Structure 1
Amino acid sequence: MVEIFSKQDGPRREDAHVKRLIEQNRGVITQLADQLSNGRYSASKKPKQVPQAEGLIIHIGSGPKPAPEPEPRIRVTANGRVIAVDVGSGRQLQFFGEIRENRGVRIFRLATAANGFIAPLDGEVTEALADIDGVLLGTAYTDGDLALDIGTRLEIPPEIQGAYG
């Protein structure tokens, strides 16, 4: 034998009974809630009155603050990228090139189209750093020295803590 239950209109009999029971005992439930919460239950149900200030004119500033001027530093990253970063946010501002290793020799390659970079540097920066392109890095000339040279030529202080070597 198969019994078919179909959804009826309105609340179920059990739900209506429980709702009625709660409504009949609302006073006792509120009293118990106040007793357990030290009166905070009834206090939370009361509407809160916001004091109205009279005669005050409140003026909110004229929009968002302008972004602070970036403070660039030259950094040589652990994977050999030579970049300028903002000290405050840590965001990359400019990419100068990378240190490539070929047969145990580390060479700095400037980000130019001739060196195979997709986004080459602009003309002024390329001219300022042209003689550093292809420089060998080792014990005599370290990553920190490279960052210092680039920073000196572009008038950007290096971030020696980020350099390795």
Structure 2
Amino acid sequence: MVEIFSKRNEPGRDEARFRKVVQENRSTIVRLADQLSQGAYSASKRPKPAPQPEGLIIHVGAGPAKPDIVDPHVRVSHNSRVILMDLTSGRQLEHLGELRRFGDALCFVLATRENGFFSPLDDDIVGRLADLDGIYIDTDFPEERLCATLVDRLLDDADAAGMAETEPGQIPD
């Protein structure tokens, strides 16, 4: 024979009896809780006042201010991405490409649509860096030399004053 136990909507007799005992002895339970917690139990039950603002509070929903001076730097990240970044703010200005491994050789691949990048570089930048696409990184041409060459090519016409007026994400012409 199978017995089916189903939960009822109303509380059981034991549960109702327990709630009644707790309700009748509420003052004793609160007094013991205060005694054991040195008054912290009742203090935690009191309503807390809402915080009140002091002085003039101005909230601006914009992001951080744009830096006045852009200090460009080419960096190779841990995941082999070659980026142009601003040393002042730490923000990425341009994704130039990546270092890909072909067998034992490491090769610089420019960020163009032909190389499989979704957001390719501008044609102006690609024109400046086209001959570096596919160059192998080895002892004759190390990463440091690649970074220096990229900075020289990108900033050959720009001076410090021109970079100061450049918006982040823009490369000066």
TM-score range (shorter-chain normalised) is 0.5 to 0.7
Spell out the pairing of 1:5-84 with structure 2 (5 A cutoff): 10-49=10-49, 58-61=56-59, 63-69=60-66, 73-77=73-77, 80-84=80-84
> Sequence identity of aligned pairs in percent?
41
- The CA distance in 2 between the partners of 1:75 and 1:133, in whole Å, is 17
> What is aligned with 2:162?
none
- The CA distance in 2 between the partners of 1:105 and 1:5, in whole Å, is 71
Q: Is the 8 A contact 2:96 2:121 kept in 1?
A: yes
- The CA distance in 2 between the partners of 1:45 and 1:101, in whole Å, is 64
Query: What is the aligned length?
Result: 152
- Gap runs ≥5 in structure 1: 157-165
- The CA distance in 2 between the partners of 1:10 and 1:80, in whole Å, is 65
Equivalent AA in structure 1 for residue 150 of structure 2: I
Q: How far off is 1:17 after superposition? A: 0.8
User: Does 1:122 pair with 2:122?
Assistant: yes
Alpha carbons of structure 1 residues 29 and 136: separation in structure 2 relative to 1, 3 Å: closer
Equivalent AA in structure 1 for residue 141 of structure 2: Y
Equivalent AA in structure 1 for residue 96 of structure 2: F
- The CA distance in 1 between the partners of 2:7 and 2:129, in whole Å, is 80
Alpha carbons of structure 1 residues 128 and 69: separation in structure 2 relative to 1, 3 Å: farther
> Which stretch has the larger CA shift, 125-134 or 69-78?
69-78
- Deviation readout 1:1-30 (Å, 9 max, x if unpaired): 666666556321111111111112112111
- The CA distance in 1 between the partners of 2:109 and 2:7, in whole Å, is 75
Q: Is the 8 A contact 2:99 2:106 kept in 1?
A: yes
- The CA distance in 1 between the partners of 2:6 and 2:80, in whole Å, is 71
Larger radius of gyration: 1
Q: How far off is 1:75 after superposition? A: 2.0
What RMSD, in angstroms, separates the aligned Cα atoms of the two structures?
3.8
- The CA distance in 2 between the partners of 1:99 and 1:139, in whole Å, is 15
> Which stretch has the larger CA shift, 78-87 or 39-48?
78-87
The TM-score normalised by the length of structure 1 is 0.65
- SS of residue paired to 2:144: helix
Q: Is the 8 A contact 2:109 2:115 kept in 1?
A: no
